[in-house]
């Protein structure tokens, strides 16, 4: 299927690895001009052909500076993918042990980065009647499934997306959310990642945890989600084929969430 994205411009945040890298690669393969933001421009990101821009979106001024550079480099935006996030690794403590700094850092990265980047990019997106896709998490619907600051921040992101879709939809900008379940990325697979911390707390090997994770999470597909699968969903939602899809939260979780 031709997604009719060739020649359009996308800005993807958190694009150095994992889901963001897969999204940048998929959009570039569809012929989009992709500006990819990350704290570090990795060789894998450079290979996608995207224009890499170094940015720290957890700071108050980082998002506006990024959008200014993106528009200067590639022109008016047709698509914004707010993917930057994380900060959940190591946060296995209970509420009483979570400091103000934990909460602030997690919200700056997972929520306020998207709010600030969206605010800066919205004038351009309105001019092009573009689209915004925010990468949330099934933790927004199952807040017990991950560290409290992280899942709470993702719940805020999902709610923000719904409210923004109602406001800017009549002006031609579609806003949707994609909420993955456990995805096969370094977050789970790295020896110093969130998965390793969970495995250590349970007294099991990381490979044992990963083998059991799909079943424990209720994923009837029996495996973790692939980053390319999330990227394919993002590309479709960005396309004119999804012109009537707005204000929705799309789960891609192997049926982990059982409620409607």
117 closest CA partner among 14, 228, 5 = 14
Q: Which of 111, 112, 150, 160 is catalytic?
A: 150
Sheet architecture: strand order including 249-252: 51-54, 33-38, 9-13, 79-82, 131-135, 174-180, 249-252
CA–CA separation, 167 vs 173, rounded Å? 9
Q: Which residues contact 172 (CB under 8 A, 6 or more apart)?
A: 126, 129, 130
Q: Is 150 a catalytic residue?
A: yes
In sign, the C-alpha dihedral spanning 23, 8, 35, 42 is positive
Classify residue 6 by its DSSP letter: T
Query: Do 141 and 178 touch, CB atoms closer than 8 A?
Result: no
CA–CA separation, 201 vs 4, rounded Å? 47
Instruction: Give per-residue burial for 101-128: e unless 16+ CB within 10 Å, then b.
Output: ebeeebbbbbbbbbbbbbebbbebbeeb
Alpha helices in the chain, H assignment, sequence order:
18-29, 43-47, 62-74, 100-107, 113-128, 148-168, 186-189, 194-202, 206-216, 227-238
Catalytic residues: 150
């Amino acid at each position: 299927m031709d997604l009719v994205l060739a020649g359009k411009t996308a800005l993807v945040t958190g694009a150095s690895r994992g889901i963001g890298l897969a999204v940048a690669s998929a959009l570039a393969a569809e012929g989009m001009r992709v500006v990819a933001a990350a704290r570090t421009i990795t060789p894998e990101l450079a290979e996608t052909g995207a224009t890499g821009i170094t940015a720290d979106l957890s700071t108050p001024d980082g998002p506006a500076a990024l959008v200014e550079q993106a528009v200067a480099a590639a022109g008016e935006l047709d698509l914004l993918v707010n993917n930057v996030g994380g900060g959940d690794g190591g946060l296995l403590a209970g509420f009483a042990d979570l400091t103000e700094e934990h909460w602030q850092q997690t919200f700056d990265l997972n929520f306020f980065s998207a709010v600030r980047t969206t605010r800066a990019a919205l004038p351009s997106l309105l001019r092009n009647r573009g689209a915004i896709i925010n990468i949330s998490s099934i933790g927004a619907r199952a807040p017990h499934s991950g560290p409290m600051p992280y899942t709470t921040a993702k719940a805020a992101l999902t709610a923000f997306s719904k409210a923004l879709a109602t406001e800017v939809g009549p002006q031609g900008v579609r806003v949707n959310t994609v909420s993955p379940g456990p995805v096969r990325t370094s977050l789970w697979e790295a020896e110093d990642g969130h998965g390793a911390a969970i495995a250590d707390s349970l007294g099991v090997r990381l490979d044992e945890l990963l083998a059991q994770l799909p079943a424990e999470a209720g994923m009837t597909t029996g495996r973790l989600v692939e980053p390319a699968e999330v990227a394919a969903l993002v590309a479709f939602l960005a396309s004119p084929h999804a012109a009537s899809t707005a204000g929705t939260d799309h789960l891609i979780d192997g049926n982990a969430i059982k409620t409607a």
